[in-house]
Amino acid sequence: MIDFFLEKIANDQYNRVVIAYEPVWAIGTGKVATPQQAQEVHKHLRKFIEQNANAEIAKNIRIIYGGSVSGSNCKELAQQPDIDGFLVGGASLKPEFEQICKSRQD
């Protein structure tokens, strides 16, 4: 499905694109992907973009993870090289959201 969208994006428009990977079983369930699982998918997406656009675009595009992100799992997810941020649902309404926002800064 992503190829359908990518072919409609001009190379100079990629800086306005954010791709979110959300395993459906992780949305609002409290079951989060392991950092390794999420990293594997994000890496695959970045590689796909490299092959279908170019290496510079693939390096700079933001690929974010969503699905039961919390204060207790954000740190390790944020350390994965191809996870650029999060799409946060339930935890965005809780104090731990601040921790999630800062998780890539530490």
Q: Which long-range contacts (CB under 8 A, 24 or more apart) does 49-56 make?
A: 49/6, 52/3, 52/6, 52/7, 53/6, 53/9, 53/11, 53/14, 54/11
Would you say 11 or 92 has its CB closer to ligand G3H?
A: 92
Comparing CB distances to ligand G3H, the nearer of 31 and 47 is 31
Given the complex with ligand G3H, which of 11 and 34 has the nearer CB atom? 34
- State the residues that interact with ligand G3H by CB under 6 A: 22, 27-28, 66-69, 87-91
Q: Which residue has the tokens 């941020």?
A: 85
**To the nearest whole angstrom, how small is the minimum distance from the Cβ of residue 43 to ligand G3H?**
21
DSSP state of 38: H
Least distance (Å) between residue 11 CB and ligand G3H: 29
Q: How far apart are CA 31 and CA 57, in angstroms?
A: 31
State the nearest-atom distance from the C-beta of 36 to ligand G3H, in Å.
19
Residue of minimal Cβ distance to ligand G3H: 89
